[in-house]
A and B are shown apart, each in its own frame.
Chain A
Amino acid sequence: MNLAEGVQLVSLLLLSAMMLGAALGVVLLSNIVYSAFLLGGVFVSISGLYILLNAGFVAAAQVLIYVGAVNVLILFGIMLVNKQRDFTPIPNAWIGKLATGVVCLGLFALLGAMVLGTPWALSTEAAAGDAAIMLIGEHFFSDFLLPFELASILLLMALVGAIILARREFLPDEDLDQPADQVLTLPERPRELVSAGSTGNTADESGDR
Chain B
Amino acid sequence: MQLEYFLLLAAALFCIGVYGLVTSRNVIRVLMSIELMLNAVNLNLMAFSNFLDPQGIKGQVFAVFVITIAAAEAAVGLAIVLSIYRNRDTVDMEQFNLLKW
The answer to whether A104 and B78 touch (CB under 8 A), given A57-B60, A70-B70, A135-B57, is no
Least CB separation from A165: chain B residue: B79
Least CB separation from A128: chain B residue: B57
Q: How many A-B residue pairs have CB under 8 A?
A: 221
**Per-residue A-contact encoding for B24-45, CB less than 8 Å = 1, 0 else:** 1111110111011001001100
- Majority secondary structure, B binding face: helix
A120 touches B52 (CB 8 A): yes
Closest chain A CB from B96 CB (angstroms):
12
A104 touches B19 (CB 8 A): yes
Interchain CB contact (< 8 A) of B50 among A104, A127, A155 = A127
Least CB separation from A27: chain B residue: B20
Q: Which of B50-88 contact A (CB under 8 A)?
A: 50-58, 60-61, 63-65, 67-76, 78-83, 85-86
Closest chain B CB from A20 CB (angstroms):
6
Q: Which residues of B contact A171 (CB under 8 A)?
A: none
- Majority secondary structure, A binding face: helix
Least CB separation from A12: chain B residue: B5
A100 touches B23 (CB 8 A): yes
Least CB separation from B47: chain A residue: A53
Q: Which residues of B contact A136 (CB under 8 A)?
A: 57, 60-61, 64
Binding site for A on B (CB under 8 A): 2-9, 11-20, 22-29, 31-33, 35-36, 39, 42-43, 46-47, 49-58, 60-61, 63-65, 67-76, 78-83, 85-86, 90-92, 94
